[in-house]
Amino acid sequence: MKVSELRAGMEHVDIRVTLKALNEPREVLTNYGITHNLVDGTVEDDSGKVGVTFWNEKIELLEGVDEGSLVELGDCFITSFKGALSINVGRDSKLEKIE
């Protein structure tokens, strides 16, 4: 799948992208009163650029992965916040570093 094909609400998305930017980990409080840890950033392929969010224990997948790395993200879901799409790396997602 390509970035340009992503749509909000998609699930079980597998995509190969380059990590362009990653922010520092932070805590967020949901409307339900639950605290989550996340790392957000930006990824891209030859069709476009999109946000990415690594949730809770999936932040560990980023160990040994640097900005500029080509990665395969598996079993992700796509959300939209204020009109901006984001790939979410959640509970069942995987990350494989390609190069």
Q: What is the pLDDT of residues 30-85, one digit of tens each?
A: 899 999 999 999 999 999 999 999 999 999 999 999 999 999 999 999 999 899 99
Q: What is the C-alpha to C-alpha distance for residues 43 and 91, in angstroms, rounded to an integer?
A: 19
Q: What is this structure's pTM?
A: 0.91
- The predicted pLDDT at position 16 comes to 98
Mean pLDDT to the nearest integer, 14-32: 95
Asked if 41 contacts 24 with a C-beta cutoff of 8 angstroms, the reply is no
Predicted confidence band at 25 (pLDDT cuts at 50, 70, 90)?
Answer: very high
DSSP 62: G
- The predicted pLDDT at position 99 comes to 79
Structure token digits, residue 45 = 């392929």
Structure token digits, residue 52 = 């990415």
What are the C-alpha distances in Å from 35 to residues 10, 27, 28? Answer: 24, 7, 6
Q: Kindly list the structural domains of the chain, giving each domain's residue range(s) and its CATH number in brackets, ordered by start.
A: 3-97 (2.40.50.140)
